[in-house]
Structure 1
């Protein structure tokens, strides 16, 4: 093949990829459904309503906002932590809103929207252990969710610890309660929840300082430039209108069991 023909072919393939990306929004509107991948097991971000069993939460409300802006129905697809990136890459979901923290490695595989949540990654231990800081877990076993940024944070912050991974946070927490590991790493928010659940029977302490800050974005396929721009536009509008803060207050704010204050705004993730 001549150099000219190769150049023409390359240009055609590039044009086709841009066309496919540009058509993604149109495809969603045509089928009338936005498929959003979420965990379904991570209260208060995506979890079953105790009465209706319908999946609800912070992440779900952001999925709903994107679907509403497009004028389409929302279809939630439950995925595991480890499957978040593969499900997106294999076109099984349109977007992912599933406690998806930005990492350099993930950013090479998929695109991230602006950060719609900022999470502190921390580690906890049984109060009876006497452990006070993450450094005290050096050489010990720490549980985390497989494929999570908590797992990465442990490996980076406590390199001599043995990281034992599980499919979801409840299983990783149970491992600590059963004495299979000495520490349990997850977001500060989830640790507060677990701490409240066991305070009267088997209390745990949340160790300081934090392992890391984690910036959550909505996952989008890299080639879908139109979708990336659109989702960021929706998020920007939600920040300006106050809707983003309302969602935070609804699920995480001072009137909830977590009693958190929103110390961030929706902004681009600086990798």
Structure 2
């Protein structure tokens, strides 16, 4: 095909008009091959101390940008995200969950996932069904342990980890995080009457902690000073078993998860949470997502922001945090704190003109 004859004064517009249909054909072929050029957006500063910043930086030039320039909205919606392309290809979305992370991610008597983080993921799936025009999109639950979160997401075996994942700089090397939806503090749980009131009373005693958690990092920082013996657990249930069977005199974990574990016990009143928080900053929970896929993160964040805005978050929290917990049916009675309500209010401003990525 030869270039058309153009006057010098309009040569740029003429050539652009000639190349436009060619570029459209190239993009169409590439879209059929699921070609995606991932874009990495720089991280900003947190909107409030300890909170991850919502990333709304523009995605660099990619196939999706070219599609927008050509007016191809369908390609812009799907091809910008390698995760969504993978979900579309397999016809299902894979969701990770925990077995005993009450009240965020655990199983009922019929071994079905439930909890607040799991409920949030179900809302995200509904939003993706509408966004991708896939009303029959199925979700596949996969049971995970804390240590496998990063490798499974990085290896594309998990699309979203629907569990209480604390946002940390180290974890951000492997995964991305959604808008935060909860805040907690790491504390100790002990048996009633143990005479332990804080970590300073643990010298010579055994402290259980789940490997790979932020609680492990915090107790290790005080290990030499406090002089306790550290017992490493595989998961939450394993750690609580150490405390129940008196192999450990204390268990370090996020306070809300400790409340959940206590509710799974036959005798919840036999255990109590003691001492001040072990960290100086709250632990912010978010859904863990594939790294280097800002388009997918933007869609998940938009779905969460809508939940924060329309009041559903309070209802979901009430259902999960005041429910009867298996196997003994003890009820959690955890109400949202003022800090939690402020966190949800901040999340509700995501994507609004008033937000503009500035601290509240």
Q: Does 1:69 align with 2:127?
A: yes
CA contact 2:119–2:316 (8 Å) conserved in 1: yes
Q: 1:217 to 1:29 in 2, by over 3 A?
A: same
2:306 is matched with: 237
* Residue 220 (structure 1) aligned to one of 289, 292, 307: 289
Deviation per CA, 1:28-55: give whole Å up to 9, x if none: 23433111111133222222221x3322
* Residue 111 (structure 2) aligned to one of 26, 47, 53: 53
Counterpart-to-counterpart distance in 2, 1:97 and 1:158: 31
Deviation per CA, 1:215-270: give whole Å up to 9, x if none: 111111221110111111111111001111111110114998221121213347x9
Q: Does 1:41 align with 2:108?
A: no
Counterpart-to-counterpart distance in 2, 1:184 and 1:164: 9
Q: Which runs of 5+ in 2 are unaligned?
A: 1-35, 40-61, 63-78, 130-136, 325-329, 348-358
- TM-superposed CA distance for 1:162, in Å, is 3.1
Counterpart-to-counterpart distance in 1, 2:323 and 2:148: 33
Counterpart-to-counterpart distance in 1, 2:128 and 2:89: 11
Mean alpha-carbon deviation: is it higher for 137-146 or for 96-105? Answer: 137-146
TM-score by length of 1: 0.83
CA contact 1:144–1:172 (8 Å) conserved in 2: yes
Query: Which one has the largest radius of gyration?
Result: 2
Counterpart-to-counterpart distance in 1, 2:252 and 2:233: 11
Counterpart-to-counterpart distance in 2, 1:143 and 1:57: 24
Question: How many residue pairs are counted as aligned between the two chains?
Answer: 253
* Residue 331 (structure 2) aligned to one of 257, 260, 271: 257
Mean alpha-carbon deviation: is it higher for 213-222 or for 23-32? Answer: 23-32
Q: 1:170 to 1:22 in 2, by over 3 A?
A: closer
Give me the CA root mean square deviation: 2.5
TM-score by length of 2: 0.64
CA contact 1:155–1:161 (8 Å) conserved in 2: no
CA contact 2:177–2:286 (8 Å) conserved in 1: yes
2:199 is matched with: 134
Alignment map for 1:184-223 (pairs within 5 Å): 184-196=251-263, 197=265, 199=267, 203-212=270-279, 213-223=282-292
Q: Which has the higher contact order (CA 8 A, sep 6+)?
A: 1
Q: 1:27 to 1:177 in 2, by over 3 A?
A: closer
1:107 is matched with: 172
